Amino acid sequence: MEKPYTVLKVTPLSRVADEGGIEKYYRIQYKTKGGVVDTTDVAEKDYTEEKLPPILLKLAQKHDAILKL
């Protein structure tokens, strides 16, 4: 089954966490089948093979549904 999105770029980043210390996250740029290009930030704990695809799938479906309006 073909994915409804393509990951264009992944950028690892870090910032100061609200609780103090350093928080790592990933900025992911993706393109939907409908041609929408967007960027989302994903926490390091969610950047896994199991957790990331459903996040991107939901976002891609949302964007393409809005595009059809």
| pLDDT for the residue numbered 51 | 96
- pLDDT of 1 strictly over 70: no
Provide the domain limits for residue 62: 5-67
**Token pair listed for 48:** 């896994």
Total domain count for the chain?
1
3 — pLDDT class (breaks 50, 70, 90): confident
| pLDDT for the residue numbered 58 | 96
pLDDT digits (tens, 9 = 90+) for 24-64: 999 999 999 999 999 999 999 999 999 999 999 999 999 99
- pLDDT of 2 strictly over 90: no
| Residues whose CB falls within 8 Å of the CB of residue 40, separated by 6 or more in sequence, listed in order | 27, 28, 30, 55, 56, 59
pTM: 0.86
**Token pair listed for 35:** 């041609």
